[in-house]
A and B are shown apart, each in its own frame.
Chain A
Amino acid sequence: MDIQNTQSQMRKGVLEFCILSIIQQGEVYPSDIVEQMKAANLHILEGTLYPLLTRLKNAGLLNYRWVESISCPPRKYFVMTEEGQKAYEVLQKTWNEMTTSVDAIITPKANPIVHQADTAQ
């Protein structure tokens, strides 16, 4: 089995959810997303983030706004659309369910079947 492949699959699965949840907290600039994720020890390349954001935007989950500033040209800030909000809620629900289930599975105490199997061995 290709461990690395599985790893990247797992990460890929939660990637969009993470990004959506960051944007859901308020209007953000893409590099802020990278920073926030980095702070959570999740590294993402900007080169992969931008296409992802564009995809989400084209799917109608995100929207963006040009923010003018004095010192530099306008920046693109991303915000959640209503549709995105709904999608995020669905994803969050799924995530919560999944964490509970996975926790239940990987914690030996809470799982009598595994326990039995262990003792049987």
Chain B
Amino acid sequence: MTMKKVININFQGRILPIEEMAYENLKQYIESLRTYFDLEEGKDEIINDIECRVAELCEDRLKKGAVCISEEDIDLIITSIGRPADFEAQDGFEANTSTNTENNQAQDHTQNASGQTYQKRLYRDEQNKVLGGVCSGIANYLNLDPIIIRILWILLFGISFFAYLLLWIAVPSTSVKEVGGIRKRLFRDLDKKVIGGVCAGMSKYFGVKVGVIRILFLLPTILLIFNWNHFHLFQFWEFNDFNNFFDVTFMPGAIFVYIVLWLVLPEARTSADKLEMVGEKVDINSIKNTIQTDMEGFSKRAQSWGGPFEKKQTSPAANTNTNTSSANTNNTNSGAGGLDQRKGCFHYFGRTITILMKAFVYFILGIITISILAALFGVGVATTGLLPLKKFILEDGLQSWAFIGTILFFIWVPVIGIVTAIIRKIAGYKNSNIWVRSSFIALWVLGWVCLFYFISSVGNSFSKHNQPVEKSVALVNPSVDYLEVTASPKMKYYEQRWFNIEPFQVYNDDTVRVRNLKIRIVQSKTDSFDIKYVTMSNGKSISEANLLAEKINFSLLQQDSTLFLDRGIAITNKDKFRNQHVIMTIAVPVGKRFKITNKGWSQTTINMNHRGIRTETINDFGDDTWVDEWNENWDNESFSYDRGVEYRMTVDGLEKIKSDFDKSNYDNDDNNDNESIDEMEEQLQKLKKDREDLEQNLEKTRAQKIQELEKIDRALEEKKAEKNGVKQNTSDIKKKQQIAVQTPSRLNKVAAVAKKAEELHLLVQRFTY
């Protein structure tokens, strides 16, 4: 049974007893009319007239004998007068032709039913909800059992909690669309558009002035203009600052967001759309209304679950309820309360399998899509960041354009496309524009073309290698005993750290430095240091490669025993980077020492930004030092070495003298080792003693046992002679056996100890070795 609260209202000068729910519906309806006729000249008059008419119709109903105005009454009245959506569809009037009634019915369906319509949209399912109805909404959308989504959701709790909140807020509720036909949706407002109407639509949605949204979007551009000196475009290279990509100060981020929204949001074409764009007012009444609907839905659910064998009694009021709940109960009926229980069981089992498979497939597809998206996005950000280096690598003209084309069309277009598609899919905007889609595909194809051209042309640019020519360097004082090779302590104050991708280092606008140097160590035939180097380069042709190799300006400077090398190979934007590198050969005479340092590559960075000037000195580059890891024995002549280690050249090869890298650590380690070896030797001695002791003991015990056994034997014989010692006999045998068992176990123990001792001995030997 249902109990409904009836209230009295004074409506257009009439006192009407009306059900509370009906009253709420009526209120919403009037509200929707008010929004619809908002732009009409005689808006108030029209609303007033319609209210009058509604009141009159209500009174008619009461005159006919109704106790109060029920929800159905209000529904009928509203249908006869028409909802804003109906006005829109039939703007004018309709003849009672077949096509039109069909049309109208279809309209009603989209308005009232959620389960039967073909237009699938993601809603929060208020009828089957636990928390906010997000899971059951998704389940409805995917035709899955909500429990599966819930389980997945719980499994992924850490990530999904935020997403849940987000979806809770973003996804409209099923209860919203039941009443009045208004819900809030994001549209592009074409009436007030400047570019795409995104800002205008958002302002309608959030109820703020258009200007505010526009400023938020334009802010980055404005900042760019005023602050371009301090603008750290590529700060996202530094890990902590990666967020800057979406920072308001980053204009491409805002543009990206705008483009995605432009593509995702449908334009508000019809008045109904415009109505939706503004949406319903969120006030106490609408919230109360939602809760009431929920409560009613809950009681209905309780009824239907309570009597699974009974056919569900559908009151006319229940029809307005979503069909999803009734569909759900039907399913449970067929599943749990079927006549043939086994069949039902199998059916349920099969269904579960299908659902699981479906969930699995969706899961995999989702992961694939997201990983592709993430990869593309990463590559996109990286390559976009590399743009300023373009002039140092790529030839002007077609190659550069192909590179830009590749970034734009091959990477960013699919990223935007996928993001758009996902959001559209989730939000349930069904009418996808064929033009948009085909232009996406066309652009992507263009991207492929660019990519292929780019790869082949770059490959061609790097295809040939120069003919290496070895050059000798005359040292100022080649006969020093000790040579330390380090980088020249040059510090250009305009070296900026913000672009510090290895192996590139920005020198100034036209020049970058490439840290591409390999140092070989060989034995010198003479008694003085001898340095030779080869410059190498790639190029489109051998002559070009030769030319580029020729242009490499590599200088050395000897000061006493220190040899300063250039910090890198300068590459200008005219000559381009064609994998120029230098191989330097240092011939070290026998008996002399050298060191390739690890330190001394320190670089002082001056950062100028809005926070002021900040200097920072980095002493240790770790593995990134520009001397390459070229320490393998890569030909027969040269020796492998470690950086920061002092070596002496001997006839047989390199001899390590000392290392300034973790010197103290090494010492400690050595001490530890020695200590442990001493300890082990002590242990070994102990164990050896133990072993001897045990062996002696064993001998003793053995002798004792044998004596005992002999005693027993003797006693046995005596007892045998006496012929009545059967019991004793058996007990003696037991004793004997016990002893027999004990002896071998002791022997085993001894053997184990001995083994251990031997192992230790071996270890000690190894250590001492």
Residues of A within 8 A of B (CB): 4, 7-8, 11-12, 15, 30-31, 37, 41-48, 50-51, 53-55, 57-58, 72-73, 75-76
Contact = CB atoms under 8 A, between A and B. Distances in A.
B667 interface: no
B660 interface: no
A8 B92 contact: yes
Given A15-B93, A43-B96, A48 B82 contact: yes
Nearest to A16: B92
Contact of B53 (A8, A41, A50, A58): A50
Contacts of A47: 33, 50, 81-84, 86-87
B12, B14, B49, B83 pick with most chain A CB within 10 angstroms:
B49
Contact of B46 (A11, A31, A50): A50
Given A50-B50, A51-B37, A43 B86 contact: no
Contacts of A58: 41-42
Contacts of A50: 46, 49-50, 53
Given A47-B82, A47-B84, A75-B56, 14 more contacts: A7-B99, A8-B91, A8-B92, A11-B92, A11-B93, A12-B91, A45-B86, A45-B93, A47-B86, A48-B87, A48-B90, A50-B53, A54-B46, A75-B52
Contacts of A46: 50, 53, 80-82
Nearest to B33: A47
11 contacts: A4-B103, A12-B91, A44-B92, A47-B33, A47-B82, A50-B49, A53-B49, A54-B41, A55-B41, A57-B42, A75-B56
Given A46-B80, A54-B42, A4 B99 contact: yes
A4 B95 CA distance: 12
Contact of A31 (B37, B53, B90, B100): B53
B693 interface: no
A44 B56 contact: no
A12 B49 contact: no
Given A45-B81, A45-B87, A51 B40 contact: yes
A72 B92 contact: no
B41 to A, nearest CB: 6
B612 interface: no
B73 interface: no
B33, B82, B99 pick with most chain A CB within 10 angstroms:
B82
Contacts of B94: 11, 43-45
A42 B56 contact: no
Nearest to A12: B92
Contacts of B99: 4, 7
A57 B87 CA distance: 20
A57 B42 CA distance: 10
B623 interface: no
A1 to B, nearest CB: 15
B59 interface: yes
B91 A48 contact: yes
B662 interface: no
B635 interface: no
Which 7 A-B residue pairs are closest in the complex by CB-CB distance?
A: A44-B93, A45-B82, A47-B82, A12-B92, A54-B42, A73-B13, A46-B81
B95 to A, nearest CB: 6
Contacts of A72: 14, 56, 59
B242 to A, nearest CB: 51
A42 B90 CA distance: 12
B669 interface: no
Interface in B25-62: 33, 37, 40-42, 45-46, 49-50, 52-53, 55-56, 59
Contacts of A44: 92-94
A15 B56 CA distance: 25
B387 to A, nearest CB: 48
Contact of B95 (A41, A53, A75): A41
A58 B762 CA distance: 113
Contact of A48 (B92, B95, B96): B92
Nearest to B83: A47
A42 B82 contact: no
Contacts of A11: 92-95
B92 to A, nearest CB: 4
Contacts of B33: 47
A37 B329 CA distance: 44
A4 to B, nearest CB: 7
Interface string B512-539: 0000000000000000000000000000
A8 to B, nearest CB: 6
A73 B99 CA distance: 39
Contacts of B46: 50-51, 54
A73 B91 contact: no
Nearest to A76: B49
B93 A43 contact: yes
Contacts of B52: 73, 75-76
Given A4-B99, A43-B96, A51-B46, A30 B53 contact: yes
Contact of B93 (A4, A42, A53, A75): A42
A45 B90 contact: yes
Contacts of B86: 45, 47
Nearest to A3: B99
A54 B42 CA distance: 7
Given A51-B37, A72-B59, A73-B12, A8 B90 contact: yes
B50 A55 contact: no
A54 B45 contact: yes
Contacts of B42: 51, 54-55, 57-58
Contacts of A73: 12-14, 52, 55
Contacts of B41: 54-55, 58
Contacts of A7: 99-100
A59 to B, nearest CB: 10
Contacts of A45: 80-82, 86-87, 90, 93-94
B98 to A, nearest CB: 12
A42 B95 contact: yes
Nearest to B88: A48
Contacts of B56: 31, 72, 75
Nearest to B59: A72
A41 B98 CA distance: 12
B93 A48 contact: yes
A32 to B, nearest CB: 12
A114 B80 CA distance: 44
Contacts of B53: 30-31, 46, 50
A31 B57 CA distance: 10
A36 to B, nearest CB: 12
Contacts of A53: 49
A76 B96 CA distance: 28
Nearest to B84: A47
A30 B103 contact: no
Contacts of B90: 8, 45, 48
B134 to A, nearest CB: 35
Nearest to B79: A45
Contact of B49 (A4, A41, A48, A54): A54
B69 to A, nearest CB: 15
A95 to B, nearest CB: 17
B264 to A, nearest CB: 27
